[in-house]
Every structure is written in structure tokens, then in C-alpha cells.
Amino acid sequence: MAGAEQEGAAVPAQSKGSWSSFLKSIASFNGDLSTMTAPAFILSTTSLTEFSAYWAEMPRLLVAPANEPDPQKRAMLVLKWFLSTLKQQYASRNEKLGSEKKPLNPFLGELFLGKWEDSEGETQLVSEQVSHHPPVTAYSIWNNKHGVRLQGYNAQKASFSRTIHVKQVGHAVLHLDKYDEDYLITLPALHIEGLITASPYVELNKCSYIVGSNGYTSRIDYSGKGWVSGTKNSLTAIMYPQGKEKDKHAVIYNAEGAWTDTFTIKDAKKNTVETYHAKKEPKTTLKVAPIEEQDPLESRRAWKRVADAILKGDMNATAGEKTVIEERQRALRKKETADKQEWERRFFTKADKLPLCEKLFRDVPGGSLE
């Protein structure tokens, strides 16, 4: 959002008392923390519908698998691309703004549209809030020049136990036209570090999977800096033939490093085949329509007054402008109920069955569609 870089650094000194009160309210809150009203100094000017763009800020890496004829290397390049998105998805806001901010909760029907234009052609994005209870964002990203398409949906469930824990619900599917291949991508769990020091940032934990229809699976394990040992934002990953996760001799590639800095991918002979430097990789700027030309449901136009109030640090105006949007949404939901109608999604439809995903999920331990 224009001017988002100006949101400020970590919690300002004059707000430390309010921050302490906020932490106490989190600790005593029962239910999904994402529904809580946060003080203005910790609010982001960016809605969750915009987060879909973090998948494709480096189109060169997104389309690279489509130009690799070898299926093993192709699956490895999908792994590399996915790992390259992690810094953008989970750390870029913290580094830009000084601390992690609570994103704005999207309203039903909210849209975010944009495109990237570079040497790889035009890569387009459509993101839409398709559900409010529970809150779910659906997205589609595609590049026709290379025949690459990414589709998925995402929701978060937040809870508190010593820190804020976020379970990500949903998955993504990357499709390559040339090889008629699909890659199911599950989403990592995360928690928020730095609450006590009032400088919150995201740390990933547990593991996630990439399961390819070509017979190769990648498992990514996440860890961070603990009380005694460990390194911030660490990852290890292995790629293996499906069904052979526990066979160390079956590993084709492995990756190791930090998702916010540098990681390397090596083959079975321990030869380095790919090295990625997160801080050096060039990003392609996302282009969106000027706010005055946007649809009234597009994020940056719809939330502009709220964003302006947040940037000014005006808590009363922030709350007031948010209330205007929320009351408008409540009135729409009430009318739909009275008319026995359901909100019509503009770009996405709900699918009762996803045979492809159900098949690929079989290679994810304990995995199932949610």
C-alpha cells in the first residue's frame, strides 16, 4: 500500500504501556486471536488479500521449472522457488517496517489485482476473499508465456501459549502446462518471536511438503533460535521418490541454510547444484491500478481511510474507519440472509471435491484437505 514503508519501526516508546496491556489481553483471550482488535501502532496498513503476491515477486524463479526437461531437476527447481518465497512471505514486512504488524482482516468479496512485467513476460495475480467465517483468501497467479499457474487458498488460526502460534490452513498447487505436472504445496506453521521486547517477528516451525505428480516429494523442516542453541530462520529439506521419506539412501537432493539469508541445494553426491542468496535476489515490482481507478472492492481503495489513519497513529480514526467497513459488511450479510442469497464470488467457485489434491495428499503424513 502506498506509504506502507512509513508505518514505523517496532513499538514506539510512548506505547510500551499499551503494548504490555495488549499482551495481557492476548494471554487471557479465548478463541482465534486473528479476530482481536489490535492497537493502531501494531496494525499494518496491508490487508491479508495482498499477501498472495509474496508467492511471485521473483517470476524468474517461478517459471524456471517449466524450462527444465529433466523431471528430477524440475522438481528440485520447484523446491528452490518455494524456499525463495519464504523470506518474502514471512520476513519482508518485518524488515521493512521494523517489526511484524497485524494485517487487516479482509472483508468478504475483497479483491487484490496486480501483475509483474519483466523478461519472463507478464505474470498476473488475482486474489479474492472468498469466505469471512472462517476467513479464507483464494488466489491465482499465472504466466501464459511459460505455461505456469499457481492456485490456492489460505486461512490462519491463531492461539496463545507463551507466544502467538499460527496454524495455516490451506494449500497451493503449481501447474506446468508443458509437462502436465502438478505440485501440491502445504503451508508451514509459524509463531511470533520478540513479543517481550516489543519487536515481533515471524519464525517458522514444524514442516511442510511439496508433492509432485511426477513422483517426487520434498519435505522442508523449519527451526529457529532457542534459549540454548539454534540459528534464526533455519531450514533443512530433502527431495526423494514418493513413499521413501524414511530411506536416507533414496534422497536425491537436500537443502540447508536460512530462509531469510542463504541456502544451498546439493545432490546425492554432496555437490552444490544451487545456491540462493535471499538478500541479493532481484525482485520485480508488482504493478496495480491507481487507487482512483480501482474497483471499490479492491483492497487499497477499500482500506485507504483506515490506512491513512494508521499512518497518522490516530487510534480513534482507525477504529472509526474500520467500523464503517464492518457495519457495511454486517448490513450486506443481513440482507443476504433475509433474501436467502449467498455472496457471489467474482473469480472463484467452491469445489466439493479435489481428486488431484486428495491423491497427492496421500504422500503427506497425516495430511488431509481442510
Q: DSSP letters along 52-112, please?
A: GGGGGS-HHHHHGGGG--SHHHHHHHHHHHHHHHHHHHHTHHHHHHSS--EEEPPPTT-EE
Q: How many domains does the chain have?
A: 1
Let me know if residue 87 belongs to a domain: yes
Looking at every residue in the chain, the average pLDDT score rounds to: 87
351 found inside a domain: yes
| Residue 278 in this model has a pLDDT that exceeds 50 | yes
Write down the pLDDT at residue 195: 72
Containing structural domain, residue 235:
15-290+347-363
Task: Write down the pLDDT at residue 302.
Answer: 96
User: Which CATH number fits the domain that encloses residue 115?
Assistant: 2.40.160.120
Dihedral sign for Cα atoms in the order 356, 357, 358, 362: positive
Instruction: Please say if the pLDDT value at position 12 is more than 60.
Output: no
CA distances for 155 relative to 139, 187, 276, 336, angstroms: 12, 10, 28, 23
334 is a domain residue: no
Percent of the chain with pLDDT over 90: 57
86-143 pLDDT per residue, tens:
999 988 776 665 667 788 889 999 999 999 999 999 999 999 999 988 889 999 999 9
Q: Hunting for cell 469445489 — which residue is that?
A: 351
Q: What is the pLDDT of residue 311?
A: 87
Q: What is the pLDDT of residues 182-198, one digit of tens each?
A: 999 999 998 887 777 66
pLDDT (tens digit, 9 = 90+) per residue, 47-87?
999 999 999 999 999 999 999 999 999 999 999 999 999 99
Evaluate whether 137 touches 51 at the Cβ level (below 8 Å): yes
pLDDT in tens, 296-330: 999 999 999 999 998 888 888 988 998 999 899 99
Whether residue 322 lies inside any domain: the answer is no
Identify the residue with better confidence: 5 or 320.
320
Non-local CB neighbours of 309 within 8 Å, separated by 6+ positions: 40, 317, 318, 320, 321
> Mean pLDDT, to the nearest integer, of 204-231?
86
Query: Between the CA of residue 98 and those of 1, 91, 199, 313, what are the distances in Å?
Result: 16, 10, 7, 16
pLDDT score at 170? 93
Q: Which of 155-164, 231-240, 356-365 has the lowest mean pLDDT?
A: 155-164
In a domain, 370, yes or no: no
Contact 70, 150 (CB under 8 A): no
pLDDT band, very low/low/confident/very high, at 370 (cuts 50, 70, 90): low
Q: Is residue 256 part of a domain?
A: yes
pLDDT in tens, 147-169: 999 999 998 887 777 778 888 99
Q: Is 200 a domain residue?
A: yes
Asked if pLDDT for residue 4 goes beyond 70, the answer is no
User: Quick one: average pLDDT of 258-275?
Assistant: 96
Give the model confidence (pLDDT) of 19-43 as tens digits. Answer: 667 666 666 656 565 665 666 667 8
- Nearest Cα to Cα of residue 100 among 24, 3, 222, 10: 10
Q: What is the 3-state secondary structure (H, E, C) of 297-359?
A: CEHHHHCHHHHHHHHHCCHHHHHHHHHHHHHHHHHHHHHHHHCCCCCCCCCCCCCCCCHHHHH
Q: What is the pLDDT of residue 6?
A: 46
C-alpha cell at 14: 510512548
Per-residue confidence (pLDDT) for residue 305, from 0 to 100: 95
Closest CA to 44 of 103, 105, 4, 106: 103
pTM beyond 0.75: yes
Assigned domain for 57 exists: yes
Residue whose C-alpha is closest to residue 40's, from 17, 11, 6: 11
Is 70 exceeded by the pLDDT of residue 272? yes
